[in-house]
Structure 1
């Protein structure tokens, strides 16, 4: 992918969090950064095909990724998937944290599962053996939802993003396909 957004200093941050709204360009940016790293990539997908439309979306995204990337589809055990895939000299790309969070919150015994899996995720990110890029939807820019589950989702996503941002060397907010670096080294956008 020649249209990469490489770090300006040539180094790959150990941990990166890329946030943005729907169709903001966050996944495309993460994939470009992964490609620009020239490292082998393990792509951890968290989406689940609950209907035909979502299955088509997943198939489309699979087709867009380089064929030589390893893909791991995970359920709620995201921390374990990151720990298993991580290795020195191998980049792990997770897309997306909010889809994972939705699966956890909609599961049976969500409270216990959230506590355990969030802790496992934080530990895996903190201890990542190789470079890690995580993609997530920034949902905290809209109005307060009317129902309890949606409010809880917003609260938990915000808490998760803050905890992960504290661990990451680079945090980026994307809008209209443009990266705004909130923490860490700048990203050059090349035409």
Structure 2
């Protein structure tokens, strides 16, 4: 069983839908640890729409900053889906928090988890170089954070145009190359 899974991809790549399916395969009901904050009307509507689409199989835990704490509090309860790491990073950076220390804490927490956890993150480094320093720092930091979390996870998936590609098979999975 995959206990720690990272799903990455671009915007509207199908990564959240795939991650939701993966999480529910690990058990039901499941916990949805949401990192988004509604700073404007459009985001509030987006969050409400996502919650309504998930339905009754999910219990939502909102945690924009203390993701390691949320994982510790919910361990041994149900499979968890964290959506998403890049919003969490954005919250940390915009709030003036030490994102590297927070990532260290997340990795340490992840290594101690017994209940399954699936992470969603954005692959942001494939586009143009941003025009401002904050956006460039975010792009670089997201890439570094994603590398660290991917290393700590048992499996890594990339979603492109709604199609998941396995990048890091779980130990014991058959070798698809023969």
Secondary structure at 1:65's aligned position in 2?
Answer: helix
Secondary structure at 1:149's aligned position in 2?
Answer: helix
In structure 2, the residue matched to 1:84 is: 73
Structure 1 runs, 4 residues or longer, greater than 6 Å off:
none
Using the TM superposition, give the Cα deviation of residue 181 of structure 1 relative to its aligned residue in structure 2, in angstroms.
Answer: 0.6
Name the Cα RMSD after superposition. 1.4
Gaps of 5+ in 1: 1-11, 187-191
Deviations 1:96-119 (A, max 9, x none): 000110010001x33xx3233222
Give the conservation status (yes or no) of the 8 Å contact 1:90–1:130: yes
Give the conservation status (yes or no) of the 8 Å contact 2:110–2:152: yes
Q: Distance in 2 between matches of 1:21 and 1:56?
A: 21
Using the TM superposition, give the Cα deviation of residue 80 of structure 1 relative to its aligned residue in structure 2, in angstroms.
Answer: 0.8
Do structure 1's residue 167 and structure 2's residue 152 form an aligned pair? yes
Secondary structure at 1:145's aligned position in 2?
Answer: coil
Q: Distance in 2 between matches of 1:124 and 1:17?
A: 15
Number of aligned residue pairs: 171
Do structure 1's residue 115 and structure 2's residue 100 form an aligned pair? yes
Give the conservation status (yes or no) of the 8 Å contact 2:111–2:152: yes
Do structure 1's residue 30 and structure 2's residue 19 form an aligned pair? yes
Give the conservation status (yes or no) of the 8 Å contact 1:80–1:120: no
Q: Distance in 2 between matches of 1:63 and 1:25?
A: 18
Do structure 1's residue 65 and structure 2's residue 54 form an aligned pair? yes
In structure 1, the residue matched to 2:29 is: 40
Gaps of 5+ in 2: 174-178
Deviations 1:29-62 (A, max 9, x none): 0111112223431110001001110000000000
Secondary structure at 1:19's aligned position in 2?
Answer: strand
Using the TM superposition, give the Cα deviation of residue 86 of structure 1 relative to its aligned residue in structure 2, in angstroms.
Answer: 1.5
In structure 2, the residue matched to 1:182 is: 167
Q: Distance in 1 between matches of 2:149 and 2:75?
A: 17
Q: What does 1:146-157 align with in structure 2 at a 5 Å threshold?
A: 146-157=131-142
Match of 2:127 among 142, 145, 158: 142
Q: Give the TM-score, by structure 2 length.
A: 0.91
Q: Give the TM-score, by structure 1 length.
A: 0.85
